Structure 1
Amino acid sequence: MAKLHHLLSLSLLLLTLIPLSIAEIKTLKIISDSRPMILFEKFGFTHTGRVNVAVSSVSVTSNLSPPEPSRLGFFLLSEESLLQVLLEIQQNPSFCVLDSQYTTHLFTFRDLSPPPASSFNQSYPVSIPNEYSLFFANCNPESSVTMTVHTEMYNVEFNGVKDYLPAGQTQLPSLYFLFSIVYFVFLGYWVVACLKNKKSVHRIHLLMSGLLVMKALNLICAAEDKHYVKVTGSPHGWDVLFYMFQFLRVVLLFTVIVLVGTGWSFLKPFLQEKEKKVLMIVIPLQVLANVASIVIGETGPFIKDWVTWNQVFLLVDIICCCAIIFPIVWSIRSLRETSKTDGKAARNLSKLTLFRQFYIVVIGYLYFTRIVVFALRTISAYKYQWVSNAAEEIASLVFYVIMFYMFRPVERNEYFALDDDEEEAAEMALRDEEFEL
């Protein structure tokens, strides 16, 4: 029992650190679940928040004595009270979280009616603004629960309209729509640049155009998804389009970074075997990562393997981020070796400078979007969760602008247009670099 409660404590802490999917109207089926606690949703409430919980088709089975209905129930737990509850559980292995003074009690199975009870439907006001998690607790040892749970969480605006997005995410529809316009404008400038310099357009520029299209469409679908959830509590199918364009956008992004990093169509018209292997690794992993993302976004934390899927998503994302760095490093190493033999020091030095800068930009982008953004989501007050989304989109836009500018289609790229004096200076720089190495 002690080990079980230690595991429960760690699981609770992990669940609160992982950003949950947006709350919406959901109907969930729990089948023979023996977990002592089940997390359903996390939601940021204003002073006009409400929680609707309806349970039906309830049955409880136990391997010991008949289950006590008052030991099964729903409650809300704020972020501030989480550590206090964890401390109570650690101090007393047999402690039932439903008895904690730090939880906001909703109802227990004793309230189900008519007897033998199997359904309940009740709405509860939330008068103290905060971010709360909706939990179900089962304090009957060796018992399992089967039930259908319907949940609705929302804030009521001043005009009486329900807002199904958490207090910190209600700005997301406007935010995503604004960035989608920016990317469509960006795409227009890119197309004009390609048309003006047709002779300098490579195949990689077409892929980069496709990446901008996927990014813009992904943001449009994200805006519509969040808008319909905000207004109605349901995405009305926009989530399907969102996940589809997200998958295409992420695969294209990693593919473009790998191809640009290898110098494909800039330095050479083909890929080496090891570079092909990177693509063959990154693309299937991105498929797996997107499947994990869909499971995380659509099912919610109530499923038993939800934490595992989160770990899969994080692990795969880290592997992909590491994998796309290698082609850039290989290009830098290859350019350094070539500069010693082909007699074109200036051209090779300019290419070397270009790929080094690209390497730094990619590292900065990955570090910011994977670490800094996660830190912002963790430390930001619940009312300002949208700030982390804005920071991620701004960082992505800056990365796209820099990458597209560095590898834009121009007839005489500044990196390759060098005179004789610069050629001599480059040779000296390469010799100095070789000496330092």
Structure 2
Amino acid sequence: MAQAKRRGMVHPLFLLLLLTTSLLISPSAAEIKTLTISSDSRPMILFEKFGFTRTGKASVAVSAVSVASSSASSAATPDPSSRLGFVLLSEESIVQISLDFQQKPNFCVLDSQYILFNFRDLSPPPSSSFNKTYPVISPNEYLLFFANCVPDASISMDVRTELFNVDTDGSKDYLSAGSTQLPSLYFVFSLSYFGFLGFWIYYCYHNRQSAHRIHLLMAGLLLMKALNLLCAAEDKHYVKVTGTPHGWDVLFYMFQFIRVVLLFTVIVLIGTGWSFLKPFLQEKEKKVLMIVIPLQVLANLASVVIGETGPFIKDWVTWNQVFLLVDIICCLAIIFPIVWSIRSLRETSKTDGKAARNLAKLQLFRQFYVVVIGYLYFTRIVVFALRTIAAYKYQWVSNAAEEIASLAFYFVMFYMFRPQERNEYFALDEEEEKEAEMALRDDEFDL
């Protein structure tokens, strides 16, 4: 019987797992969400993560509530409606509740001071509904949970959440305190990329004799990046002022998909030397593209599921894991063509008698290899670290750092492989040939 009673309680390790998971969750765009929970027996269901200011408010409405019990112990629980409800927890309070549970084995999170309401507050059947807005007294980043402390009980209900901060003019801001700057941030960067695209078109036109097909793809990449950021700015703006994206999220995901596929394709094609060193791709290089592009389709599908649903769905963590795994595989895959080009240039230098040209190409691709590794490391590791350690009010800093790193990467990549009549990397003077041969021999010896 004791085991059955504890089955409905929240184990401290489960709470700590939720705390760890919350670190992986970006603050919610907090658009007004209406969702349906059906026969869910989880002891804790995470709905939103949101940064509140001193004027923050949390509105929760539930309706069509029904509770099903699968054992006699559930029916024997005194006043089970008091063991079902919503709580608003900061990361610090999750740790405190874990300690409380260790001291009191039968402790329920709804017994804590962090409760918003329990189901005793619901109107009587058949309506069984509740709707109330709560002011947030202490500004902080909070997680909105539904707690089920009834053993073997499953809950079905319709839930509407509305988390927001109130601006000085009385308007609602539905973006988290650390994300309210994002519309302006994304708009500024979109203008930067549109300017970059204009300059790139101008430069390619004036060097059209040296322009290759890869430069057209690079222009398309800039266009997709600019449109992606513009739609992100509009998406965040409408969420900020209305609580709904007004369809901009559809355009955002569409341009994001095209942009990411183009980015990985351009890196692979440049890494193989296509259009610079050779007019065609080898079979193994085609296989890399055939692997990367479908994986990016899967990654973007996972991104849509993550962004458009939320942690309340049962498979949300799985979709996050799929996204991270696919992203890692793609990042590793695009490195191989660059390594193959470096090896090929090293081998070619032994036979074709063009040591200076090959040394220049070898140096270029090595530099490109370092740039790609640096970009992937910064945007996957450093940005995540910034998002983790930054105060909740400054979460936008990690977004700014990611966009600055991306713009710097685009600029360096485009500069390195720009069209020009006399490429300093590919056309060195013959008098440097002997010196280059020595450098290549030393390089081979060092390796």
TM-score (norm 1): 0.97
Answering whether residue 90 of structure 2 is matched by residue 78 of structure 1, we say yes
Asked whether the 8 Å contact 2:64–2:157 carries over to 1, the reply is yes
Shift of 1:82: 2.0
Q: 1:107-158 CA deviation, whole Å, 9 max, x = no partner?
A: 0000000345610000100121100110000000111000000010100011
1:27-426 equivalences in 2 (<5 Å): 27-64=34-71, 65-66=74-75, 68-90=80-102, 93-101=105-113, 104-115=114-125, 118-426=128-436
Shift of 1:432: 1.4
Counterparts in 2 of 1:260 and 1:89: CA distance versus 1, 3 Å: farther
SS of structure 1 residue aligned to 2:11: helix
- Which letter does structure 1 place at the counterpart of 2:85? G
**What is the distance in 2 between the residues matched to 1:92 and 1:281?**
52
Asked whether the 8 Å contact 2:164–2:173 carries over to 1, the reply is yes
Shift of 1:105: 1.3
Asked whether the 8 Å contact 2:64–2:127 carries over to 1, the reply is no
SS of structure 2 residue aligned to 1:199: coil
- Which letter does structure 2 place at the counterpart of 1:70? S
Aligned pair count reads 435
Asked whether the 8 Å contact 1:19–1:377 carries over to 2, the reply is no
**What is the distance in 2 between the residues matched to 1:70 and 1:414?**
75
- Which letter does structure 2 place at the counterpart of 1:389? N
TM-score (norm 2): 0.95
1:3-18 equivalences in 2 (<5 Å): 5=11, 8-18=14-24
**Of the candidates 10, 23, 29, which is equivalent to residue 22 of structure 1?**
29
SS of structure 1 residue aligned to 2:297: helix
**What is the distance in 2 between the residues matched to 1:50 and 1:396?**
35
**What is the distance in 1 between the residues matched to 2:102 and 2:379?**
35
**What is the distance in 1 between the residues matched to 2:347 and 2:305?**
46
- Which letter does structure 1 place at the counterpart of 2:56? G
Q: Give the percent of matched residue pairs that are identical in Structure 1 and Structure 2.
A: 77
Q: 1:36-56 CA deviation, whole Å, 9 max, x = no partner?
A: 000000110000001110000
Shift of 1:10: 4.8
Shift of 1:219: 0.3
Shift of 1:22: 1.5
**What is the distance in 2 between the residues matched to 1:380 and 1:419?**
51
SS of structure 1 residue aligned to 2:93: helix
**What is the distance in 1 between the residues matched to 2:63 and 2:347?**
70
Structure 1: 5+ residue stretches without partners: none
Shift of 1:84: 1.8
**What is the distance in 2 between the residues matched to 1:93 and 1:302?**
26
**What is the distance in 2 between the residues matched to 1:337 and 1:153?**
61
**What is the distance in 1 between the residues matched to 2:272 and 2:125?**
70
Shift of 1:289: 0.5
SS of structure 1 residue aligned to 2:117: strand
Asked whether the 8 Å contact 1:76–1:135 carries over to 2, the reply is yes
- Which letter does structure 1 place at the counterpart of 2:15? S
Asked whether the 8 Å contact 2:174–2:242 carries over to 1, the reply is yes
Asked whether the 8 Å contact 1:9–1:89 carries over to 2, the reply is no
Shift of 1:15: 2.3
Q: 1:389-414 CA deviation, whole Å, 9 max, x = no partner?
A: 00000000000000000000101111
- Which letter does structure 2 place at the counterpart of 1:436? D
